[in-house]
Amino acid sequence: MNSLLRSFGPRMTTVILLLSVVWVAGMIIGPQLIMVEQSFWYKDQGGEAAANSVRIDRLYNDIDMLSFDKMDAEALVPSQERDAKIAGIETVVAEKRVVIAELEAREIAPKKVYSLRNYTIMGRSHLAIFIKTILASVAVTFIAFVVCYPMAYTVAKLATPGKAAIIMLGLIIPYAINELLRVFAWLMILNYNGVANYLLGLVGIDSVPFLESGTGVFIAMVYAYILFMVFPIYNTVETLDTAQIEAARDLGAPTWQIHRRVVLPHAKPGIAVGCIMTFMLSAGSYAVPYIMTRGTAEPWFTQLIYNKFFESSNWNTGSAYAFTLLVACIIFIFLMMRLFKVGIKDIAK
């Protein structure tokens, strides 16, 4: 309470705490928990429901048959035996009706069954897509780091202020242009009759099906998310005192040693953030595979999630898939924090 209460007084403190609770509980934790909860149960329809309706049909048939028996019995000469027989049939029918009512009730309200089925249902082919998505995202992250580190270092330390401003502008413009449009530019290049194949045609090479083979997704993804690596690294390298670099050089360190011993260790938090962002955006990208596969290449894991929710409307399995992706991202974040020895405070700034 302490200083919050002291600076805002009881009424405003209540409002502030209330807003924080709405955000944390109602928008961040609540939705995630419900999603995870959904992923652990399924509605018991499917196979059992089919068996159910078969049983119900059979029971109705039995009742029909019994009603014939009853009519036969009624046709007999009235006697105690006849009455007993009819009563017997009637009790059997009543019993069967109770069972039918039970089964029908279950048919209307399918049972919620807790199990891991939504996860195990994934099967080999979807698991392969999941692994492919993760590996491709790691590759995108790695490429982005290799390409962006020199650029971030240049803007932060090498270029003159005027030049740095121009390079910065050159980085911000493509960064700020909508993701879809950037991907679309590559669609035009890699399309079957696009620019790339036109150029290949000029040198006599047959058209390459970039989109159909799935390479298009990868190429466009590197392009779409590469700049998310530049800015975090730039931000940390910029805070490095240039005198340290000069001192290392004066003491005779070759360029690669300066980077390995001075710049890279200092840039660790930025590199960690860049890697986390790039990986998370790639693994969680729906736009890039949606546009770049045109439904012909093997899907990205996010597309499987989308289909579970909005095409086969199996939200429980969809939740399980989404949670799987989330866990993969969390593991990646912890790996990066371990690898670069940084805490959450360093990451989110």
Partner 1 sequence: MSSVSQTAFGQGSRIVFNIYMVIFFAYMFLPLILMVAAGFNEFSTPSVTVWRGFTLKWFGVLAQDTRMWSGLINSLIIAIAVILVSLPLGLAGAFVITRFDSRYNGLLYGIMVSPLLTPGIILGISTLIFWRETGVSGGLFTAAMAQATYISSYTMLMFMARLERQDITLEEAAMDLGASHIQVFRRITMPFLKPTILTASVIAFLQSFENYNTTIFSIGGSHTLVTEIGSRMRFGLTPAVNVIGIIFVVITIVSAAIYVIFREREKARAAAVKG
How far apart are CB 212 and partner 1 at their closest, in Å?
14
Round to whole Å and give the CA distance between 104 and 135.
48
How far apart are CB 164 and partner 1 at their closest, in Å?
9
Interacting stretch for partner 1, rule CB under 8 A, among 65-73, 117-125, 164-172, 208-216?
164-172
Confirm or reject binding of residue 130 to partner 1 (CB under 8 A): no
Contact between 270 and 144 under an 8 Å Cβ cutoff? The reply is: no
How far apart are CB 226 and partner 1 at their closest, in Å?
9
Confirm or reject binding of residue 94 to partner 1 (CB under 8 A): no
Closest to 321 measured CA to CA, from 344, 305, 300 = 305
Confirm or reject binding of residue 278 to partner 1 (CB under 8 A): no
If the CB atoms of residues 101 and 195 are measured against partner 1, the closer one turns out to be 195
Residue identified by tokens 């409002």 is: 15
Round to whole Å and give the CA distance between 278 and 233.
12
Of the candidates 47, 78, 123, 161, which one interacts with partner 1 according to CB under 8 A? 161
* Ranges within 281-300 binding partner 1 (CB under 8 A): 281, 283-287, 290-291, 294-295
Interacting stretch for partner 1, rule CB under 8 A, among 46-54, 78-86, 128-136, 238-246?
238-246
Confirm or reject binding of residue 349 to partner 1 (CB under 8 A): yes
If the CB atoms of residues 268 and 294 are measured against partner 1, the closer one turns out to be 294
If the CB atoms of residues 56 and 324 are measured against partner 1, the closer one turns out to be 324
HSE value, Cβ hemisphere, 13 Å, CA-based, for 189? 12
The H or E element containing residue 42 is strand 41-44
Amino acid identity at 164: A
Contact between 283 and 303 under an 8 Å Cβ cutoff? The reply is: no
* Ranges within 239-258 binding partner 1 (CB under 8 A): 242, 245-246, 249, 255
* Ranges within 41-80 binding partner 1 (CB under 8 A): none
Q: In angstroms, how far is CA 87 from the centroid of its own chain?
A: 62
Confirm or reject binding of residue 177 to partner 1 (CB under 8 A): yes
If the CB atoms of residues 3 and 80 are measured against partner 1, the closer one turns out to be 3
If the CB atoms of residues 56 and 318 are measured against partner 1, the closer one turns out to be 318
Confirm or reject binding of residue 17 to partner 1 (CB under 8 A): yes
Tell me the site size for partner 1, rule CB under 8 A. 97
Confirm or reject binding of residue 118 to partner 1 (CB under 8 A): no
Give 43's strand partners.
Answer: 112
Contact between 325 and 253 under an 8 Å Cβ cutoff? The reply is: no
How far apart are CB 24 and partner 1 at their closest, in Å?
6
Of the candidates 181, 203, 256, 313, which one interacts with partner 1 according to CB under 8 A? 181
Residue 120 in tokens: 């195990």
Round to whole Å and give the CA distance between 80 and 90.
15
Residue identified by tokens 């931000």 is: 235
HSE value, Cβ hemisphere, 13 Å, CA-based, for 250? 6
Helices 46-75 and 80-108: angle between axes, nearest 10 degrees: 160
